[in-house]
Amino acid sequence: MQEKRSSFLDYAERRYRLAGSALVEGGNHPYFVETDLLEESADQWPEGFLSLSHYDYLGMMQDPEVTAAAKSAIDHFGTGAGGSRLVGGERSIHRAFEKELAAFLGVGGVLSIISGYLTNMSIIGHVMTGRDLVIADELAHNSIISGCKAAKCTFLTYPHNDLEALNALLGERRQEFGRVLIATDGLFSMDGDITDLPRLLEIKDAHDAWLLLDEAHSYGVLGETGRGLSEHFGVDPKRIELAVGTLSKSFGASGGFIAAEARIVEWLKFTLPGFVYSVGLAPSTVASARAALGVLRREPERVARLRENSRMFLNMAQAAGLDTGDAIGEAVVPVLFESPEECVFVAGALLQQGIYTPPVVHVGIPKDAPRIRCFISAKHSQKDFERTVSAILAARAAFQSASIEGLRAS
Ligand SMILES: Cc1ncc(COP(=O)(O)O)c(C=O)c1O
């Protein structure tokens, strides 16, 4: 009989250890926090509960118009779509929403998909085949990177936001491949910096490539009216072959979507595996996202307030000597720390004071760049930012003096 290999449990334990389980051992950590319970018990803190953990940038998740739309959709349509839209899951509200969203974004069509993550996972391998190349920013979202790895084509990366390196790489290797797709984020969700879209479009055209631009964090955020990176730079959105978005951020719901030319959307509707073989979005989810889109169109001042708040927080943090990396002050502002231990300590100290800002260590970022990632909302106030910055400073000082004490004692 063959000698028994280690059990699956042993294997899982080892993998978990390598992933950094020591940081969260004992359950005393700031992850998987039940934020509803914190909100319910907010009066335990003199200044109440404050979250910078939700990417509900425009305050749609609790907006009465948005929640009412979801409730009435449940009454009208029931809870689920009941099937893939291709074969039974289609409702009138799916099409109405996609039409309105396409008109808002200035593109020919939109196809909504059950998750933003799945959208990237499914589209890249569907479009790019054997002789092709997909080339992604090294810090593109995990759903892009995983989608690239799962595709049958060759996969390369270029250094973060280094478009001249991309240009040079394409210059050297473009000829080896049939079709080429460049894939990147619009607004980077870990760093709060953006892609130089005009230059990227020049490079794409010069090398006869296509572009997949993930606007998950930039729709509702960038541009005067929240139409994303193309509005930010004053570029025609039709120059982007595939724009990907999510409903989980500025639209306060869940689900992903692809924005493209109408005929491309038509093709994908019949063939994209992540759409064809997955259930349609729940009608109540579509209804809430549609209501949020209505609010966004009517109240572009929410986008302006978000921008004002983001810049205010960025300036305050920088003035206090905190390291905000490359953030430009648009919705995502990380605060970087020297070590994962310091980062987790500070986030834990903030949570004890009723401020929820989860630490991001080893997940989706270079190992030497632990951070607290702050998601800014149009609903936040100057007082919220002052409270957060001073709590971070105090916790950082406490950590540093405890480290010095520790060194002295050893
Ligand atoms: C850039 C980017 N793309 C895609 C996704 C996945 O979207 P979702 O969480 O809506 O599935 C995320 C998630 O945060 C993201 O940051």
- Reported as a single tens digit per residue, the pLDDT across 15-74 is 999 888 887 888 877 888 899 999 999 999 999 999 999 999 999 999 999 999 999 999
**What is the rounded average pLDDT of the residues 335-363?**
90
Which ligand 1 atom sits nearest the alpha carbon of residue 255? 10
209 lies in a domain?
Answer: yes
Whether the per-residue pLDDT at 365 is higher than 60: the answer is no
Residues 340 and 328 both lie in one domain: yes
Cα of 99 from ligand 1 centre, angstroms = 22
Residues 241 and 325 both lie in one domain: no
Domain CATH code at residue 390: 3.90.1150.10
9 lies in a domain?
Answer: no
Residues 6+ apart with CB under 8 A from 20: 340, 361, 362
Residues 293 and 358 both lie in one domain: no
Cα of 300 from ligand 1 centre, angstroms = 23
Are 214 and 247 in contact by the 8 Å Cβ rule? The answer is no
Residues 282 and 341 both lie in one domain: no
- pLDDT for position 28: 77
Residues 219 and 325 both lie in one domain: no
Residues 69 and 196 both lie in one domain: yes
Domain termination residue (choose one: 278, 298, 318): 298
Residues 326 and 385 both lie in one domain: yes
N-terminal to C-terminal alpha carbon distance within the chain = 52
Which ligand 1 atom sits nearest the alpha carbon of residue 247? 10
Residues 47 and 154 both lie in one domain: no
Cα of 19 from ligand 1 centre, angstroms = 21
Overall domain count for the chain: 2
Helix (H) or strand (E) holding 307: helix 301-319
142 lies in a domain?
Answer: yes
pLDDT digits (tens, 9 = 90+) for 182-225: 999 999 999 999 999 999 999 999 999 999 999 999 999 999 99
Residues 235 and 307 both lie in one domain: no
139 lies in a domain?
Answer: yes
What residue ranges in 122-193 does DSSP mark as E strands?
133-137, 154-158, 180-185
Strand partners, 134: 155, 181
Residue to mutate (ligand 1; options 53, 56, 57, 117; most atoms within 8 A of CB): 117
375 lies in a domain?
Answer: yes
pLDDT digits (tens, 9 = 90+) for 112-144: 999 999 999 999 999 999 999 999 999 999 999
Helix (H, G, I), strand (E, B) or coil at 180: strand
How many CA atoms lie less than 13 Å away from 317 in the CB half-sphere? 27
Residues 288 and 308 both lie in one domain: no
Side by side, the strands of the sheet bearing 256-260 are 109-113, 256-260, 242-246, 210-214, 180-185, 133-137, 154-158
Average of per-residue pLDDT values in the chain: 95
**Pseudo-torsion of CA 410, 403, 364, 245, nearest 10°?**
170
Domain termination residue (choose one: 298, 331, 354): 298
Ligand 1 pocket, residues with Cβ under 6 angstroms: 115-117, 120, 141, 143, 185, 189, 214, 216-217, 246, 248, 256
- pLDDT for position 27: 81
Nearest CA to ligand 1 atom 9: 116
Which ligand 1 atom sits nearest the alpha carbon of residue 141? 1
> Where does the pLDDT of residue 179 fall: very low under 50, low under 70, confident under 90, or very high at 90 and above?
very high
In angstroms, the CA 404 to CA 410 distance is 10
2 lies in a domain?
Answer: no
Whether the per-residue pLDDT at 364 is higher than 70: the answer is no
The structure's pTM equals 0.95
Residues 229 and 364 both lie in one domain: no
**Could you list the active site residues?**
189, 217, 249
What residue ranges in 92-201 does DSSP mark as E strands?
109-113, 133-137, 154-158, 180-185
Residues 282 and 305 both lie in one domain: no
Full residue range of the structural domain in which residue 268 is found: 64-298
11 lies in a domain?
Answer: no
Cα of 117 from ligand 1 centre, angstroms = 5
The two three-digit tokens of residue 336, written as one number: 């970087």
Nearest CA to ligand 1 atom 16: 189
Q: What string of DSSP letters covers 215-269? A: -TTTTTTSSTTS--HHHHHT--GGG-SEEEEESSSTTSS--EEEEE-HHHHHHHH
Domain termination residue (choose one: 239, 266, 298): 298
- Other C-beta atoms closer than 10 Å to the C-beta of 39 total 13
Query: Which residue, chain included where needed, has tokens 């396409």?
Result: 102
- pLDDT for position 340: 87
- pLDDT for position 105: 98
16 lies in a domain?
Answer: no
Helix (H, G, I), strand (E, B) or coil at 359: strand
Rg (the chain; Cα; Å):
22
Domain CATH code at residue 260: 3.40.640.10
